[in-house]
Amino acid sequence: MAGIIIVCLQFLFFFNLSVQGYELQQVLILSRHNIRAPLLNNLNNLTTYSFPRWNIKPGYLTEKGAKLERYIGHYITDWLVKKGLLPNGCPELSSIHVYANTRQRTRETAKAFVNGAFPNCNITVYSKNSDEMDPLFNPIVRNRSSILKETIVNEMQQRINKLKLHNAYVKLNEITNLKHSNKCLVENFCDFAKERDDVVYEVGQEPNVIGPLYLSNALVDVFLMSFYEGMSLNDVAWGKIRTPKEWKLYTDIVRENLNVRFNGTALSKEVARPLLMYINDILKSESAPKLTLLVGHDANINSVMAAIGFKSYVLPDQFELTPLGGKLVFQRWYDRNLNRNLLKVDYVYPTFEQLRNGERLSQENPPHWVHMELKKCTPVHEFFCDWNDFIRDFENILKM
* Closest to 10 in 3D by CA, of 292, 357, 315: 315
Has residue 9 got a pLDDT over 60? Answer: no
Average pLDDT over residues 1-26: 58
Average pLDDT over residues 324-339: 96
- Distance, in Å, from the CA atom of 258 to the CA atom of 254, rounded to the nearest integer, reads 6
Q: How many CB atoms lie within 10 A of CB 26?
A: 21
Rg value, the chain, Cα? 21
Task: Give residue 196's pLDDT band: very low, low, confident or very high (50, 70, 90).
Answer: very high
Per-residue pLDDT, 392: 95
Per-residue pLDDT, 381: 82
pLDDT tens-digit map of 49-80? 999 999 999 999 999 999 999 999 999 999 99
Q: Annotated catalytic sites, by residue? A: 33, 298
- Do 328 and 305 form a contact (C-beta atoms < 8 A)? yes
What is the DSSP track for 188-245?
A: ----GGGS--EEE--TTS--EEESHHHHHHHHHHHHHHHHHHT--TTTSGGGT--SHH
The residue type found at 193 is A
* Closest to 71 in 3D by CA, of 387, 379, 355: 355
Cα–chain-centroid distance for residue 48? Answer: 32
Average pLDDT over residues 371-400: 92
pLDDT tens-digit map of 114-169? 999 999 999 999 999 999 999 999 999 999 999 999 999 999 999 999 999 999 99
- In the chain, the percentage of residues whose pLDDT exceeds 90 is 92
Q: From start to end of the chain, where are the E strands?
A: 22-32, 96-100, 198-200, 208-210, 291-296, 327-335, 340-349, 368-371, 379-381, 384-386
Per-residue pLDDT, 21: 86
Cα–chain-centroid distance for residue 2? Answer: 24
Helices and strands (H, E) in the chain, number of each type: 12, 10
Helix/strand/coil for 91: coil
Average pLDDT over residues 175-190: 97
244 versus 19: which is more confidently predicted? 244
* Closest to 226 in 3D by CA, of 43, 366, 102: 43
Has residue 4 got a pLDDT over 50? Answer: no
Per-residue pLDDT, 316: 97
72 versus 378: which is more confidently predicted? 72
- Distance, in Å, from the CA atom of 138 to the CA atom of 130, rounded to the nearest integer, reads 13
- Residue 314 gets which letter from DSSP? -
Q: How many CB atoms lie within 10 A of CB 39?
A: 13
* Closest to 305 in 3D by CA, of 352, 253, 257, 375: 375
- Distance, in Å, from the CA atom of 312 to the CA atom of 372, rounded to the nearest integer, reads 9
Has residue 12 got a pLDDT over 90? Answer: no
Phi and psi at residue 142, to the nearest 5°: -115, -30
Q: Please, which residues have CB within 8 angstroms of residue 366's CB and are 6 or more apart in sequence?
A: 11, 75
Per-residue pLDDT, 90: 97
Angle at 360 between CA 299 and CA 15, to 5 degrees: 80
Per-residue pLDDT, 8: 46
Has residue 7 got a pLDDT over 70? Answer: no
pLDDT tens-digit map of 73-119? 999 999 999 999 999 999 999 999 999 999 999 999 999 999 999 99
What is the DSSP track for 115-153?
A: HHHSTTS----B--S-SSPPTTT--------HHHHHHHH
CATH numbers and ranges of domains, the chain: 19-42+61-139+266-399 (3.40.50.1240), 146-262 (3.40.50.1240)
Per-residue pLDDT, 19: 40
- Distance, in Å, from the CA atom of 352 to the CA atom of 356, rounded to the nearest integer, reads 6
Structure pTM?
A: 0.94
Per-residue pLDDT, 297: 98
Tell me the pLDDT of the chain averaged across its residues. Answer: 94
